[in-house]
A and B are shown apart, each in its own frame.
Chain A
Amino acid sequence: MIDENELMLQVQNGQLESLALLFENNKVRLFNFFRRMGNSPEISEDLVQETFMRVLSYRSTFNGSASFRTWLYGIARNTSVDHYRKYKQSLDHEEFDDTTPDDKSSLCEQMVEQQSHSLFNKALASIPIELREILVLSRYSQLKYEEIALMVNCNLNTLKSRMTLAVSKLKESYNRLNGEELT
Chain B
Amino acid sequence: MNAQDILAAKVAYLSGNAQTDLTPQMQQAVEKDDKLKTEIAFVEAFWQTNDSSAPEMPSSKLDARFYQMLAMAQAAQRNAINSDNDAKSTDGLLDRLKHWLMPKPALQFAMMAGIFSLGYFTKLPSGETTDVAMNNLQQQVQSLNSLVALSMINNQSASKRLTGISYTKQTDVSDQTLNNALLNMINHDKSTSVRLAALDALFSRGLNSKLEIDLLNSVAEQNPLVQIEMVRLLIGFGSEVAQTKLKAAAKSGVLDADVKELLEQQIAAKSQLQSI
| Contact surface of A with B, Cβ cutoff 8 Å | 14, 16-17, 19-20, 23, 27-29, 31-32, 35, 41, 44-45, 48-49, 52-54, 56-57, 78, 82, 85, 96-100, 102, 113, 116-117, 120, 138-139, 142, 144-145, 160, 163-164, 167-168, 170-171, 174
Closest 7 CB pairs of A and B: A31-B58, A45-B62, A138-B15, A145-B17, A32-B55, A164-B8, A100-B54
Contact B193 A53 (CB under 8 A): yes
A98 to B7, CA, bound (A): 27
- Listed in ascending order, the chain B residues whose CB lies under 8 Å from chain A are 4, 7-8, 11-12, 15-17, 39, 42-43, 45-47, 49-50, 52-59, 61-63, 65-67, 69-70, 73-74, 77, 192-193, 196, 224-225, 256-258
Apart from A28-B57, A100-B54: 18 A-B pairs, beta carbons within 8 A? A23-B70, A31-B62, A32-B55, A32-B56, A35-B56, A41-B59, A44-B58, A48-B66, A57-B196, A57-B225, A98-B54, A98-B56, A120-B49, A139-B46, A144-B17, A163-B8, A167-B7, A168-B39
Specify which chain B residues have a CB less than 8 angstroms from the CB of A168 in the assembled complex.
39
Q: How far is the CA of A145 from the CA of B4 in the complex (A)?
A: 17
Q: Indicate which residue in A53, A100, A170 contacts B192 across the interface (CB closer than 8 Å).
A: A53
Contacts of A20 in B (CB 8 A): 66-67, 70
Tell me which residues across on chain B come within 8 A of A171, comparing CB atoms.
Answer: 39, 42
Q: Is the CB of B52 within 8 A of A102?
A: yes
CA distance A100 to B196 in the complex (A): 43
Q: Which of A32, A56, A82 contacts B224 (CB 8 A)?
A: A82
Which A residues touch B61, using CB under 8 A? 45
Q: Which residues of B contact A16 (CB under 8 A)?
A: 70, 73-74, 77
Complex: A1 Cα to B49 Cα, angstroms: 27
Residues of A within 8 A of B258 (CB): 78, 82
Across-interface contacts of A56 in B (CB, < 8 A):
69, 73
Q: Which residues of A contact B63 (CB under 8 A)?
A: 27
Contacts of A98 in B (CB 8 A): 50, 53-56
- A146 CB, min distance to chain B CBs, angstroms: 8
Q: Do A19 and B70 form a contact, CB below 8 Å, given A53-B192, A82-B224, A174-B42?
A: yes
Name the residue among B42, B46, B49, B65 with the largest chain A CB count within 10 angstroms. Answer: B46
In whole angstroms, how far apart are the Cα atoms of A117 and B73 in the complex?
Answer: 41
CB of A48 within 8 A of CB of B58, answer yes
Given A82-B224, A82-B256, A116-B45, the answer on whether A31 and B56 have CB atoms closer than 8 Å is: yes
Contacts of A31 in B (CB 8 A): 55-58, 62
Which A residues are CB-close (under 8 A) to B59?
A: 41, 45
A23 to B65: give the CA distance in the assembly, Å.
12
Q: How far is the CB of B2 from chain A (nearest CB, A)?
A: 11
Taking the nearest CB of chain B, how far is it from the CB of A159, in angstroms?
10
- Name the one of B66, B77, B256 contacting A49, with C-beta atoms under 8 angstroms: B66
Complex: chain A residue closest to B54, CB-CB: A100
> Is B7 in contact with A164, judged by CB distance below 8 angstroms?
yes
Ordered by A's residue number, 20 sampled pairs between the chains whose C-beta atoms are within 8 Å are: A14-B77, A16-B73, A20-B70, A27-B63, A31-B55, A31-B56, A31-B62, A32-B55, A32-B56, A41-B56, A41-B58, A45-B61, A49-B62, A49-B65, A52-B66, A54-B225, A82-B256, A116-B45, A116-B49, A164-B4
